[in-house]
Structure 1
Amino acid sequence: MGNVANDQGDPSPELPAGAPVKVLPPATVPGLTVRKAMEMPALAGARLVAGAGGLDRIVRRANIMEVPDILPWVKPHELLLTTGYPLRNTPQGFSALVGDLNEQGLAAIGVKLHRYLDRLPEQMVEEADRLDLPLLLLPDAVGFDDILNQVLTGVLNRQTVELERSWEIHHALLSVVLEGGGLGELADKASAVLGVAVFVTTSDGRVLAEGGAPDDLSGWRSSACFDQTGRFRTEYEPGGVHAHPDVPGQHAVVPVVAGRVDHGRIVAFAGDRELDEGDVNVLERTATVAALAVNKQLAVTAVEGKYRGDFLRDMLAGRAGEREQIVAHCEVLGWDVARELVVVVAELDPGVGSAPMTGLELRPAQERFTTAWQTVVGRRDHAAPVVGFAQEVVALLPVPQTADVDALVRDVVRGVSGDGGGGRRSFSTGVSRVLDDPERLPAAYEQARRAVYVGRQMNGSGSVAHFDALRSFRLISLIEDQDELRGFVKESLRELAAEDDPEMADLRHTLKVLLDTNLNVAEAARILHFHYNTLRYRIGKLERMVGAFTTDPELRLDLALALKVLQMRGLS
């Protein structure tokens, strides 16, 4: 069965929907930690009395608490200074306040004693220690204004450095595209800046480019974040920083979006360190520039694709000229058709697995379907033509040295399907006979299209059908008058034609096995797991219903055709 991207599908067996996936909150921009702040002159004499486990909390601002209702004014990553004046008469309230302040994301509390409080309540110290919220005793001789000035200066200095670094990175990434680079060069640049492995994928997780050491990239591709076809599992990986129990380190995912169209993902893997918001910021800038590169490539591809599509359409219609002209023109397009090929036609199944609504406008299903085929086939053979038309994708696949066309098509369809994960959209595939002359492409194309149509009727959505395997089904499919087909089935099978009767269905199966074994009763009994005499009894019952098929070859032919008509879909 074939499927394609970004529609709801069955959960993947390797990373089921209920698997313990930890989505981490965004880490902070590298900045001023409480530990670093205590090294400033104004806080050099401060003493840590609780919360040593939180010394790496980030300080982004400072404030003074001298009113009882401070909570509405507290901001995350704040260093809060107080003399304890609001709580001087109820010091036990200070202890309860610690938990509330911690929930607000406070960085640390600095308390100056001996003015309104002689000592810190033990419960307050214990609570701060339990929550790893740094609790500092401030020197008496240092004014709050000195602390505020030095802390805010340190924060601004670090933010300035970070902004300068961010601009330098953005300029470097933008230069890659302006100088003609693509996604591969962007992935390499982002990997060099961050020192981690970076992947650029489509919106459904197909890897378009990667950057980093080959061994590292290979290791991450074999992790549970990718399925067996090498597709990144976007359905289980929302944006942000993540950690999985069976995947070392952390990885960050950032969408590539332009004009509210979801073009793909930037994914960074770090096995030996935590990824912070600074890393995410670099990835976001990479994603912005990647969107520019994608749009540029889409514009070029649109023009080239129309030209390639028009020529392939002429080839399939027999209007492309003589063999030498076709081969030469294809070489200019980067295609090699001077070899044994099979024509493969793939169509999205109607009304199966419609796309889910998201906050972003997804690219049209047919466009994504075409991209998936071009990516998978291009990875195997860059010289194999793959073109998407309005309702189908046509690929000319080279016959492998093993001549195993079935295995080739199965591998390609499996790659496009993404191993069944990611909510693949169901599609049906038809395969032509092998051809060794591009002038025979029109006939092969019609064979593949017929295989898609008949295969879907025989096996339903997601079928893969080879033209040579259709046999008499090809002739049946040419009969457009379904009333005539239904009449033929009822006249030939009589009572056996009742499709809603389990007993008749069982007898039809017995009849099919008998016809398939050329009336070899012993072989049919073995296949059906019947006693020989039981099958003889059934044969007599069948002959009373449909006639003496054991002695009438014409009747056997009619019955076999009627059973094949019933096997095909779309007669009801």
Structure 2
Amino acid sequence: MLTLCEDQPTTTSEAPETVADLLGSDLLAHARIVAGRAGLTRSVSRVNQIEDPGGMAFYLRPGDLVSTTSETLEHMSEPTVAFVSRLQSIGVAGLLVHVDAESALSPSIRRSADELGLPLLEVTEELDPDHRLTRGIRERAKMHVRAMFRSDRLRRTLTDVALAGGGMEDLATATSLECDVAVSITTVDGREIATAGSAEELQALRGSIALDSTGRLRTDSIDGGLGLHSHQGNSIAVCAISANGTDHGRVVLFSSRRQLTEPDLYAADTAAGVFAVAVARDLALSAVEDKHRSNFLRDLLLGRGGEHAHAVAHARRFGWDIGRPVVVVAIEPIPRHDDPSPTRRPLVDRQMAAFSSALAQRDSSAAIAALGTETVIIMGSGPTTVSDVHEIVERVHGDGGGGRQPFTVGISRPCTAVDDIPATYAQARTAVKVGRRIGGDWTVTAFDELGVFRLLSLVDNEDELELFARETLHDLAGHSAEAQDMRKTLDMLLATNINIAETARALHFHYNTLRYRITKLEKILGPFTDHADLRLDLSLALKIMAMRATDHQM
């Protein structure tokens, strides 16, 4: 597990002081409490000077008495309520504001401080820099100012790159040069989009615990892995890339040569702001083309793609090759009502982007689009198609975490003509439907693997199927542990063609125990060991129950 790398205040053996204690001390002898009296018992660990409220979150710690000026507060870009709420969420002890004759605290900040019980103090004189709680305050303030200038220079550099049409690779390279670190841009769930930096640093990043076994950034920790982390001599700063209230990914600064600090996290946040603009720009530019792609792929699946030669030529405009033998792959997400990130892009769009990235490494000429509630792929067919799809799914799935939503996948039979694509799409949809029922989340099912399930899926009246299963299995159709156990025995007996010795070995039963079970089963089901037709009925009934997920916890 990565550990948060914090600049902890110097500990002392003295008892902690509260805001109320300090109001009666030499340090705040001239201070006046103007709001938030309910929080006067909060403990103070140090006084921390903040010149830039926008970047304060990177420098504050619980227990800080935040010192700033009324002029600084007047130039805040965020609402007062949001600013005071941020201080409250960090856990600071209070807000100390230096005022002069020409400025005063606004009524809104007083109201917010009172509502949250956050002590709000006014002072007109400088604080004693030699007090134990203000020790190092000037050095920290200078460090904050240097970080502001550094981040402002980085913002201007990245803005110039973006205005010149630079993409994520260019922005990552510029960030790497400015900050002297390795840089990785990832999706929300940690898939790499772009990287920059020295070969040695990038190799160190890919070998570090910051990435999982599939090469993804670990975004499954608290707050999506955001913040400063360190492990085994490596240091990493992670910030979110957000545009228009939507989370689009992560920007990562990494170094194996030095410890990254709050100014580096501030720089990462600055870079993330420009990356967000670039993301919004790229999404706007691709929206029209994505719509044309989706419409054409939908037409192909519905049999409206036109003549074979025309459809193949039109697909080439999108970089797709559908003139070769192809299969249709359908991916259907399984949405969860407890998705912790409602500000992300729609689930189908995120999964389509993930599959598009993984697919490009396997079949760059494949067609892919998000269509309503599913992602559909038309990819080249060959001897390794099914294993290729399994590898693509494994790459998208990763090793868990990051809020990755489950899905099921269906693979059609191959086809060689555009006119056959609608039928193969129906095969892929059938594989998705049946595969989910018998296998649950993350199941990858090829249509040719369905066997008799393919025929059962054609029966529209599911109640009739369930009635057949109940009437055939009798008491074994129940949900009790005994019924499930006896169904397992019956299933193995049918699979071995009533080979008692082989079934006993497979189920780890004594031979006599299995004979007893067979006698019990025949009392319930009839003499199935002697009647092939009854065995067929029982086999179908068991498959109906499997298809309806009676024994599978979805």
Question: Shorter-chain-normalised TM-score: which range?
Answer: 0.7 to 0.9
Contact 2:227-2:237 within 8 A present in 1 as well: yes
1:196 to 181, 184, 190: 181
Alignment of 1:76 onto 2:62:
no
Contact 1:26-1:240 within 8 A present in 2 as well: no
Listed as ranges, the gaps of 5+ residues in structure 2 are 11-24, 32-45, 51-62, 68-130
Map Cα deviations across residues 239-268 of structure 1 (whole Å, 9 max, x no partner).
76523333x332111221122211211110
Alignment of 1:517 onto 2:496:
yes
2:366 counterpart residue number: 384
Contact 1:349-1:462 within 8 A present in 2 as well: no
Cα shift at 1:524: 2.0
Aligned pairs for 1:61-460 (under 5 A) are: 68-70=26-28, 76=48, 166-236=151-221, 238=223, 241-246=227-232, 248-350=233-335, 352=336, 354-356=338-340, 361-399=343-381, 403-460=383-440
- Alpha carbons of 1:530 and 1:342: their partners in 2 closer, same or farther (altered >3 Å)? same
1:530 to 502, 505, 509: 509
Structure-1 separation of matches of 2:549 and 2:145:
68
Q: How many residues align?
A: 451
The residue type paired with residue 289 of structure 1 is V
Greater CA radius of gyration, 1 or 2?
1
Structure-1 separation of matches of 2:476 and 2:350:
45
2:57 counterpart residue number: none
Structure-2 separation of matches of 1:166 and 1:486:
65
SS in structure 2 at match of 1:311: helix
- Alpha carbons of 1:424 and 1:560: their partners in 2 closer, same or farther (altered >3 Å)? same
Aligned pairs for 1:552-571 (under 5 A) are: 552-569=531-548
Contact 2:339-2:403 within 8 A present in 1 as well: no
The residue type paired with residue 231 of structure 1 is R
Cα shift at 1:188: 0.7
SS in structure 2 at match of 1:548: coil
Contact 1:26-1:276 within 8 A present in 2 as well: no
Structure-2 separation of matches of 1:173 and 1:134:
33
Map Cα deviations across residues 133-170 of structure 1 (whole Å, 9 max, x no partner).
579xxxxxxxxxxxxxxx99xx89x9988766544432
SS in structure 2 at match of 1:362: coil
Structure-1 separation of matches of 2:30 and 2:311:
75
Structure-2 separation of matches of 1:26 and 1:240:
18
**Paired-residue identity, %:** 39
Contact 2:201-2:255 within 8 A present in 1 as well: no
Contact 1:346-1:430 within 8 A present in 2 as well: yes
- Alpha carbons of 1:292 and 1:503: their partners in 2 closer, same or farther (altered >3 Å)? closer
- Alpha carbons of 1:435 and 1:516: their partners in 2 closer, same or farther (altered >3 Å)? same
Structure-2 separation of matches of 1:245 and 1:160:
28
Structure-2 separation of matches of 1:71 and 1:473:
82
Listed as ranges, the gaps of 5+ residues in structure 1 are 1-18, 28-50, 52-66, 79-101, 107-126, 136-150
The residue type paired with residue 395 of structure 2 is G
Cα shift at 1:206: 1.5
**Alpha-carbon RMSD:** 3.6
- Alpha carbons of 1:411 and 1:24: their partners in 2 closer, same or farther (altered >3 Å)? farther
Contact 1:346-1:394 within 8 A present in 2 as well: yes
2:39 counterpart residue number: none
Map Cα deviations across residues 54-89 of structure 1 (whole Å, 9 max, x no partner).
xxxxxxxxxxxxx924377695359xxxxxxxxxxx
1:55 counterpart residue number: none
SS in structure 1 at match of 2:393: helix
Alignment of 1:486 onto 2:454:
no
Larger mean Cα displacement after TM superposition, 376-385 or 408-417: 376-385
Map Cα deviations across residues 268-321 of structure 1 (whole Å, 9 max, x no partner).
002212334443343333212211110111112211111001111111122212
Cα shift at 1:364: 2.1
Structure-1 separation of matches of 2:200 and 2:392:
25
Contact 1:433-1:447 within 8 A present in 2 as well: yes
- Alpha carbons of 1:567 and 1:159: their partners in 2 closer, same or farther (altered >3 Å)? closer
Larger mean Cα displacement after TM superposition, 458-467 or 294-303: 458-467
Structure-1 separation of matches of 2:2 and 2:359:
34
Larger relative contact order (Cα-Cα within 8 Å, sequence gap ≥ 6): 1
Structure-2 separation of matches of 1:495 and 1:205:
49
Cα shift at 1:24: 2.3
Structure-2 separation of matches of 1:373 and 1:382:
12
1:468 to 448, 453, 462: 448
Contact 1:23-1:240 within 8 A present in 2 as well: no
TM-score, normalised with respect to structure 1: 0.70
SS in structure 1 at match of 2:173: helix
Structure-2 separation of matches of 1:448 and 1:374:
18
1:545 counterpart residue number: 524
The residue type paired with residue 518 of structure 2 is I
SS in structure 2 at match of 1:191: helix
Contact 1:456-1:569 within 8 A present in 2 as well: no
Structure-1 separation of matches of 2:8 and 2:425:
52
